Amino acid sequence: MPGGRRRDAPPPPDGRRRRCHHPPARKRKCCGHGAASVSGARCPWAGRGRWRLWCCCGRAWRGPAAPRWVSAGPRPRACRPCAPPDPPRPIVSAALLGRTLGRRPAVLAAVADRSVPARRSHSSPQQGHGLRNFLPNPLKEEITFRSPKGLQCISPLMQTVEETPQPIPAKIKGHIPKWINGNLLRNGPGKFEFGEDKFNHWFDGMALLHQFQLENGTVTYRSKFLQSNSYLTNSQHNRIMVSEFGTLAMPDPCKSVFARFMSRFEMPQPSDNASVNYVVYKGDYYASSENIFMYKVDPETLETKEKVDWSKFVAVNGATAHPHYESDGTTYNMGNSYGKHGSRYNIIQVPPQKSNCSDTLEGAKVLCSIAPMDKMKPSYYHSFGMSENYIIFIEQPIKLNLLKIITSKLHGKAIFEGISWEPQYNTCFHVVNKYTGEVLPGQWYSKPFASFHQINAFEDHGCVVLDLCCQDDGTTLSTYKLQNLRRSGEGLDQIYDSISRAFPRRFVLPLNVNSDTPVGKNLNPLSYTLARAVKDADGKVWCTHENLHPEGFEKVGGLEFPQINYSKYNGRRYRYFYGCGFGHLVGDSLIKVDVETKNFKIWQEDGSYPSEPVFVPVPNATAEDSGVILSVVVSPAENCSAFLLVLDAETFRELGRAEVAVPMPYGFHGVFTSH
């Protein structure tokens, strides 16, 4: 099959990937970018009648001659970027690269140990992107990374802790800039059992609210459990009374056998455990998750105030914990609605002003509704993108099986068992005018991927540029069970190796596509990105991404929890973003990425696990990265204190830390509120 072409089949059907018609190929050693190679895979991105060979890494082979072969091991097909130069032969064998930089990338196994000097930051090379080029100058300090074998047990980071309701002073090491005045508010699970009942999933833990208050170079810490109905009910009965994402509440053992049986047919009490993030509406702070309830919280005292039900203001059954904000305070969010005709994706707009002191979500409205590909299997989504004029929603093949979820209690199963990864569906992008609510008529598709967090989105030359963290497998949610996170030794290594890692990618969505737009031509006019967008004969635009990282970046284990200088650069073209490197099941490093040069800088400390980075700009600063990064760093070691880390956002070097001698679990998200 020279050139990997066939011309005897129609194009792929709407929204689905066509299976390869070639005889099944046995799995073979990969060229280094994937777990296995399959010969003659179809190209769903090409137009009618066009076929290409696809490397297992997802790249299409391009060139006038047959692709090169990897010289080590069996002979899989590989694209030119994947195949090593010939000569010389590869320094690292294809078998080793297949294990370490595979579809579920682990940290480089060729480096057997990990010894990063404490309180150091490391920069990527200014020239070149290969594995060799990333290795440090021999005249500088040696940098090694975590081995995928023998990972440290992090079970103490997933254990119940006591709250610290009264502020305690932190021990300062180094220097905390005096201009930082405000509260770093963090949210995440902090209690994982009631009596003899234990939660099954990391997301089930009761919300523990954290506050680091910074003022004139000093820091104090406090924490309180969110006084939700779920927390209070469970505490009162000393058992799990309210079902959560991964845990089904069992019937009261004091009831009769018949009463316990009949309780399976009762509608489950919805959880109001808002443990994911802090969000802001009309200047007020709310603890939020993805259900229908939020709780207003005093950012100074962490006191739980009123409970807010989304359904009393707009016709939705929940909303994300990652809204977007305009400069005037207008807030946009998304939430699903479920009715007799199936489900809908809804874009919500909340006005910036209060009508009175008790106002919460009054004036909120549904800007537009979008029908899913399958109304009984809508997509799960954790966030969405927003540019200056558009909302960008990604309909991905992580599916909510509504029938399974509705009947989960009857079958004795938790909610998360109704969520499945279905890669027979492609990923679809929806673009909505956020001022008119108009859904743009374009059809933008990509190969299947999962994304939980967007980095940024902006408009340029009639296109929307969308940057986000993507992974090629969407089964991660079911992996984060507490029994997996609390493993040690070989069992922990196996769990880590089974997870697909997220990496930063860029997509370009051309907006001005019509019947006159040529077929088979790259519609991306932007010279600074290699992302492609090609229209097929059916009018669909197939998008292929550009990686926003250099080759060899897999050694940090992936990147998640991305953050930018949001107040000035959200919806605008930008240069820098920050995130957590995942050399473990939780973040084990902090990373700064330059999207123009693809260089990156790393902060990492042995045995320490930093949280989501939060960017705080210097007052009246003009440079994009003029500010500091705040991150809460925890450790599973008994003799190590948790601390608030302060990094210079420009140099990515540590300025100081504020240590507190109280145990803290690993959390999710947070915000900084300035005084």
Residues marked as binding for Fe cation?
322, 382, 453, 669
Give 292's contacts (C-beta < 8 A, 6+ positions apart). Answer: 270, 309, 310, 311, 316, 317, 318, 319
Token pair 């480089």 is found at 108
Greatest C-alpha distance within the chain:
77
CA distance 265 to 263: 5
Residue 353's φ and ψ, nearest 5 degrees, are: -105, 145
- Does residue 121 contact residue 651 with C-beta atoms inside 8 Å? yes
Which secondary structure element, helix H or strand E, spans residue 260, and what is its range?
Answer: helix 257-262
CA distance 265 to 248: 14
Smallest CA-to-CA distance from 249 within 480, 83, 409 is with 409
- Does residue 604 contact residue 587 with C-beta atoms inside 8 Å? no
DSSP character string of 66-93: PPPB-SSSS--B--TTTSPPSSSPPSS-
Amino acid at 473: D
Smallest CA-to-CA distance from 601 within 120, 141, 121 is with 121
CA distance 631 to 584: 17
Angle at 580 between CA 576 and CA 582, to 5 degrees: 135
| Residue stretches of the annotated binding site | 322, 382, 453, 669
CA distances from 349 to 331, 364, 437 (A): 6, 6, 10
List beta partners, residue 628: 616, 648
Amino acid at 564: I
- Tokens matching residue 634: 């925890």
